Amino acid sequence: MPTASTERSRPQRVRWLLIGVIIFVLAVVAGRFLATRFIPVAEPSIPPPTPTPTATTLADLTAPTCLDAPLTELPDEFAPVDCAGLHRTELVAQVPIAEALELEDKYERPRDKPLSAHAMLACQQADAFAEVSDERLAQVEIVAVWPTKKQWQKGMRDYACFVTADTPWQGAFNE
């Protein structure tokens, strides 16, 4: 038979055990709180972004240069993208206008009519299209661009030959 002192000590032990568990839980919570407040946590390692090429003018482009959007109208500035990724437009060739039109005076800008009359022919005869299949050519639109008067004054003397499509492709057009 238990004695009176033993009966009293059991509830006291349970009470002290509960107090100990509560103190332990509060210590863990306080430790977590203080650790997140005062101990610096390492940021997750994020790779640096790949540099985006800056916008450039038509006169600054060289073949091959890829663009994200289809070429529906000629913008003042172009934002090149990596040709290894998906793109919808690519500058595939630059044909010297003086050679295409057999100009004697390479410094005077021809009128728009002869420029436009020979632009597509000059682009289609460019080396960039020499080994491209008819099936591949059927997937794109060829766009020939010639310099404006202002661009001519700045020294641009080439037809810019682009291929463009609504459906993006990856890699160089003539691969």
Q: Which amino acid is at 80?
A: P
pLDDT score recorded for residue 87: 93
| Strands of the chain, DSSP E | 65-67, 80-81, 86-96, 141-145, 158-170
Side-chain-facing half-sphere of 104: CA atoms under 13 Å: 0
Q: What is the pLDDT along the chain (175 residues), one digit of tens a residue?
A: 555 555 557 777 778 888 888 888 888 887 777 766 666 655 556 655 555 556 688 888 888 999 988 888 778 788 899 999 999 999 999 999 888 888 777 778 888 888 888 899 999 888 888 888 888 889 999 999 988 888 888 888 899 999 999 999 998 888 7
According to the model, what pLDDT value does residue 54 have?
66
Total residue count of the chain as it appears in this document? 175
Give the pLDDT score at 48. 57
Count of alpha carbons within 13 angstroms of residue 149, beta-carbon side:
2
Q: pTM score, two decimals?
A: 0.65
User: Which residues lie across from 142 on neighbouring strands?
Assistant: 163
The confidence score (pLDDT) of residue 86 equals 92
CB 23 within 8 A of CB 31: no
Q: Compute the CA torsion angle 61, 172, 162, 121 (nearest 10 deg).
A: 120
